[in-house]
Structure 1
Amino acid sequence: MEQKVKITWLGTAAIRLEADGETVLFDPFVQLVGGENPNCLDDFLQDQTICVTHGHLDHMMDVPEFLDPESDAEATVYCGEVATETLSDMVENTSNVVKVRPGDVIRLGDVRILVMEGKHAKPGKSQVFQKLFSRRFLQYFRNALALAYLNPKFPEGGQTLMYEVHAEGKRVQVMGSLGLQEDQEYPQGADLLILPFQGSEFLEAVALEVVERLQPKRILLDHFDDAFPPVSEHVDTRRFKKLMDEEYPQIKVVKPTAGKTVVL
């Protein structure tokens, strides 16, 4: 019987991948009040293997819960050096935290995960000002205060990772942010590219550059939702899908529904 790779988007950049009897959770995050895909920790805590792409709070704020000795999680967390240091400041026991670097390979049974160097997207200054002086800022003022307090505690530190999962004869590339290193060569032709569609002032142009470099067979968008208002927003993906139809008609673009599994 042919096995399948199952991908479930859980809001923001949280992705659950199931293959070869293993389950890997990427970037778990519980959305703030007003988030369009409300979830809770119980949606994540059954997962035993966590991969973190970078240290920003919407990718790592809830990871310490997986390392709480009083919880039933007992998960193993793979992350970069900056994220490892953040966790060391937040939890007493980091014995289940595994620091990884680009070029490392994580082996989980028959699943192999290659760690690669990514790059964080750069939001434009105009985007920041628009959000600071919007009506939503007053509507979600408590969120804004919490984010202002928490954000310095979760630095990206110039270190964003990208993971390539090899399982069931398939390759799945998981990006944590919409950016690639200019001088880096990346493997092309993955069966699926998980593409974060948020964080840049020129989203469509940057996303098309990523597609040109990686040449995936299929794309699943994530991180396009309004997960932590007023800083986040729902991003309209229709223009990008139209551009893809025009320039790369052979590449299918999927905008997932939170909690609904996509099968490769």
Structure 2
Amino acid sequence: MDVGFIGLGRMGRAMAGCLVRAGHSVRVWNRSPEAARAVEGANPVATAAEAFRGDVAVTMLADDAALRSVIVEGGLLDWAERPGLHLSMSTISVALAQDLAAIHARAGVPYVAAPVFGRPDVAETGALNIVASGEAEAIARAAPLLDAMGAKTWPFGTEPQRANAVKLAGNFMLVSAIEAMGEAAAFAEGHGVAGADLLDLLTNTLFASPVYKGYGASIAAKRYEPPGFNLRLGAKDIRLALAAAETVGVSMPFASALRDNLIEAIAQGDGDKDLAALARVVARRSGRG
């Protein structure tokens, strides 16, 4: 397929690389050109408009502001040459997903929201879990790309914003797990038990799942660099979850506590460290940070 790929952070570079290796013709664009040149086998282009065309255009940008700036404010949907489908894989707000669905409908460009679960090392192997919402025919057209980037695609209906709601719910649970492990480790250490030993036990028995095992190992080793997913982005996702919850009258008191702890972590200089560094908040408070 003729694919344009916009947004080449660590995740985007890995995902675009999977598409190249699967035999697709991939044009890539990023604000910093060196990132585009780093995708071996892809064709770097000078403008976002050159990437936003072909059979499918994929976007993997950092946040609402970046996606809105490139697609909406950049006027890409007003160009005569537009893609046959826009596959939006960024973690964005439910509100922006709704706006984008409406904007694309007016422009006559099919829109599929397909945010992902997985870190850059998982993306490099094409083993992401992808949450997809949009018209069934559009998702089917995107299937060769989704299959190249992910181990499984999980459909969640025709309204694109549903996929973004699922992604935010998942990230809320992920951050909650990190907070729980940080508090449990600090509690154990207060009673003379090494936090690393506690986490080794629990992440290999009751909580033997990828999130607990991966982040638990980082917390146990106090290994927060290099970041697989930085804490500042985790804070963004919790803010988005809280905003979306308010619109439907859902109370998320623990998400509010997580937001405050993430703000404290950023204030302490941990914003660019791995999300596992959230555990340092309770460790500092208990004199063990």
Give the TM-score category using the shorter length: 0.3 to 0.5
**Bigger RCO (CA 8 Å, 6+ sep):** 1
Q: Which has the higher strand share?
A: 1
* TM-score (structure 2 length as normaliser): 0.31
Q: Which has the higher helix share?
A: 2
In our comparison, the structure showing a higher alpha carbon Rg is 2
